[in-house]
Structure 1
Amino acid sequence: MADENIKQHFRPDEAPFIDQVDDWLATCQDEYRPVLTEFLNPRQRYIARTMTNSFDDVRVSQNGGWPGAEMQRLLFYPTYYQPQESDFELQLINVDYPLKFSELHHRQILGTLLSKGLKRSAFGDILHDGDVWQVVLSAQMAEFVRQQVTKIGKINVKMKMADMAEVVQPVTDWEEVSTTVASLRLDSIVAAGFNYSRNRAKTIIEHGLVRVNWETIERPDYPLSVHDLMSVRHAGRIYLKEDNGITKKGKLRVSLAVVHA
């Protein structure tokens, strides 16, 4: 179990993940071999990197198939080891569908994968460059997805294996926002990111329309931390990039990245 002093630096609900990271680090150190994780979100990777820094004989690398990947696998490894791309066991799949007669959306592909019983940690980013849709998966799950996913919504699709070198550069519409907030409460950040009133933000959170790091959170006062990723149904996503300190009036300066649905 991780040292309780470590857990004091993170949220109480992150304790199980901290224990998991502690297990990965211990295995790497005790068995003197690399340890590969599932796909982790930005906040999880921040926690894992922070914990790795306290180990002199363990290093960590990350890979999600492309440089800006939101979901990435981590590889913990002893100092003697030189990580290779193949160590991350990634597989790219192209979504083949009748482009001229139908339209796919990120949420449809995500929902289909989850409906097949996959955990969010079993696959990485869903990429789109304007024409091509791709999914980054763990190599062990790719054949299952290829066989099981034949429809996305009402659209017939074929999931075709592709080489990782064929990964597209996704269209990104993230907007950088620097603002001040009263606190790092969830309702405060949602309101700031989408220019909502606090009451509106509070209501949509209580109605289960907001996820933090892929988990539905219904507490408006839920405390956020740097590297948290929020998804607001029908609105878009917010990434809490930086906490830039306190203004003279006691407000918090924050840097957000916002993408609108």
Structure 2
Amino acid sequence: MVDRSIIKSLPAEQRELGAKIIDKAQSALKIYQPVFSDFLDPGQQVMAKKLVSGIYGLTWKFDGGYDSAERKRMIIFPEDLSWGEIPECICCLQVAGNFRFRKATHRDFLGAVLNTGIRREKLGDIIVVDDGCQLIVVPEIKDYLAQNLFKIHQVPVKVTEISREELISPADNTKIIDTTVSSLRLDAVAGAGFGISRSKIVKYINSEKVKVNFETITDADYRINEGDVVSTRGLGRISIEKVKGDTRKGRIGIVIKRYL
């Protein structure tokens, strides 16, 4: 049996989704088959991972269609099943039209899909390309979209299924920052990553605008570790790629990736 009491430890806004993840895990144990969540954003992925990681006999993977996908489905399955036994859980679609004279944005594509009645959690990443976009969706809605998505931003479009290999991964719009900090405190690392003073980043922290691994942190002295993701409302997101250790001047060398 799965211990459901862990749901009470979640923030109120996460409990409904947490209960769904626990239900999925219990189902995987009961039917001894893989089960799938809807698409989860990065913060939801962190929460789901914490819930499932402690359940004996189960393991999990995330799949968003390509390695750097932001929105992914969680696949929960008995640990002695091989990955090759897991059925496909995502579908890739090409939405093509003549956007040469009427450009459409990510927001335009998302809005058009949602206007067909599709819920956001059924839709993964949207990759904008020259002649339209590529959608990653749950397989059960692919036919519905093909039959109901006709225009994007007043441009007629056609929806066809494509393979994973045909996905065009978005350009890596990041910047590597090789720097040093006085400590691995949140204010020091975030200040270096976002290029602002520690006193300014502290204001963001105190205003509950800073998250570490997608959880709000209000302590400026919170310790940052290699692999952590720090996001700040209004500034963007950074990840700590490497902690290199102490320098001769007593500072700490770190490598930060900033998402532009």
TM-score by shorter chain over 0.5: yes
Paired AA for residue 159 in structure 1: K
Deviation, structure 1 residue 177: 6.3
TM-aligned CA deviation for residue 134 of structure 1: 0.6
Residue matched to 1:109 = 109
Instruction: Give the superposition deviation at 1:138.
Output: 0.9
Equivalent position SS for 1:87: coil
Query: Which of 5, 26, 29 is the aligned partner of 1:3?
Result: 5
Work out which of the two has the higher radius of gyration on C-alpha atoms and give 1 or 2: 2
- Secondary structure of the 1:80 match is coil
Distance (Å, rounded) in 1 between the aligned partners of 2:232 and 2:98 = 29
For the aligned residue pairs, the C-alpha RMSD in angstroms reads 4.7
* Contact 1:42-1:229 within 8 A present in 2 as well: no
**Which residue of structure 2 aligns with residue 249 of structure 1?**
none
- The 8 Å contact of residues 230 and 239 in structure 1, kept in 2 or not, is answered as yes
SS at 2:100's partner residue?
coil
Say yes or no: does 1:136 pair with 2:143: no
Q: Answer yes or no: is 1:72 the counterpart of 2:67.
A: no
Cα distance between partner residues in 1 of 2:258 and 2:136: 23
Aligned pair in 2 of structure 1 residues 49, 125: CA closer, same or farther (>3 Å)? same
Give the 5 Å matches for 1:202-217: none
Change over 3 Å in CA distance of 1:151–1:192 after alignment to 2 = farther
Gaps of 5+ in 1: 213-218, 245-253
C-alpha contact 1:174 1:259 (8 A) present in aligned 2: yes
- Note if contact 1:129-1:171 (Cα within 8 Å) is conserved in structure 2: no
- Once the two structures are TM-superposed, the CA of residue 64 in structure 1 deviates from its matched residue by 0.9
Alignment-derived partner of residue 48 in structure 1: 48
**Structure 1 position 241, deviation (Å):** 6.4
Q: 2:193 and 2:29 mapped to 1: Cα distance? A: 41
Separation in 1 of the partners of 2:113 and 2:88? Answer: 21
Counterpart-to-counterpart distance in 2, 1:94 and 1:157 = 13
C-alpha distance in 1 between matches for 2:90 and 2:258:
28
Q: TM-score, normalised by structure 1?
A: 0.68
Aligned to 2:156: 157
Aligned to 1:167: 167
Change (3 A) 1:136 1:53: same
Paired with 1:108 and 1:231, the residues of 2 have a C-alpha distance of 25
Contact 1:110 1:126 in 2 (8 A): yes
SS in 1 for 2:33: coil
* TM-score, normalisation: structure 2: 0.68
Deviation, 1:163, is: 2.4
Identity among equivalent pairs (%) = 20
The 1:23/1:150 distance shift into structure 2, 3 A limit, reads same
Q: Structure 1 257/116 Cα, relative in aligned 2: closer, same or farther at 3 Å?
A: farther
Q: Deviations over 1:148-188 (max 9, x none)?
A: 22122x332323223223111212313456999xx989xxx
**Deviation digits for residues 174-209 of structure 1 (CA, Å, limit 9, x no counterpart):** 3456999xx989xxx8x998778999xx9xxx9xxx
Distance 2:157 2:101 in 1: 15
Count of residue pairs brought into register by the alignment: 247
Cα gap change, 1:142 to 1:170, in 2 (>3 Å): same
Question: For 1:1-53, what per-residue CA distance to the aligned partner results, in whole angstroms no more than 9, with x for missing partners?
Answer: 7224872xx53422222222211111111222211111111222222222222
Q: Corresponding residue for 1:247?
A: none
Equivalent residues in 2 for 1:16-35 (5 A)? 16-35=16-35
Q: Classify 1:184/1:62 alpha carbon distance in 2 versus 1 (closer, same or farther; 3 Å).
A: same
Answer whether contact 1:35 1:76 (CA < 8 A) is retained. yes
Partner of 1:251: none
When structure 1 is superposed on structure 2, of 94-103 and 34-43 the one drifting more is 94-103
Q: Is the 8 A contact 2:90 2:137 kept in 1?
A: yes
